[in-house]
Amino acid sequence: MRIRWELSRLAVGCAACLVAGVALTGADSKAEIQAKAIMNEFMRAFNARDQQAWSATLNYPHVRFASNEVKVYNTPEDFRREMADYPKRLAPWHHSRWESMKAIQSGPDKVHLAVTFVRYNENNKEIGKFPSLYVVTLKNGHWGVQARSSFAP
């Protein structure tokens, strides 16, 4: 009985050390909160088809890896010009949602987020699910999506 008690204390102690070790290797909860907030604004603006608000959720240059291409948008104007008809290109897309969002690395001015987003048609039927990696940065006092890589078209 005493041995089982000691082993359980040891297991709890080891688990605490592992958690503390993870916390000491680069987690920044304040940055993660800010990054997730801008990600939610990104999705809100995207679904609203508000090009101005959507481009304001990014930091520039903004890089997108998707459809076997790398696109670089140097300014908000470049992004808005390229994305003006994006919702039409996604037909029958109507809206998207984050299915999951997890900070995998973070520091005071950068957060890497592993996300999955789901696209839906106007009947709320799922038409695609895409695991992705987003890099959110703090530049000149502004949190924004700096880069994203997805398996979405």
- Contact predicate 92/100, CB 8 Å: no
CATH of the domain at 41: 3.10.450.50
Report the domain count for the chain.
1
Average pLDDT over residues 115-119: 98
Look at residue 100 and tell me if it is in a domain: yes
Q: How far apart are CA 89 and CA 130, in angstroms?
A: 17
- 19 in a domain, yes or no? no
What residues make up the domain containing 118?
27-150
The answer to whether residue 59 is domain-embedded is yes
Q: What is the pLDDT of residues 14-39, one digit of tens each?
A: 333 333 344 434 689 999 999 999 99
In a domain, 81, yes or no: yes
Q: What is the pLDDT of residue 52?
A: 97
Q: Does residue 9 sit within a domain?
A: no
User: Residue 130 domain-assigned?
Assistant: yes
- Residues belonging to the chain: 153
CA 141 to mean position of chain CA atoms: 19
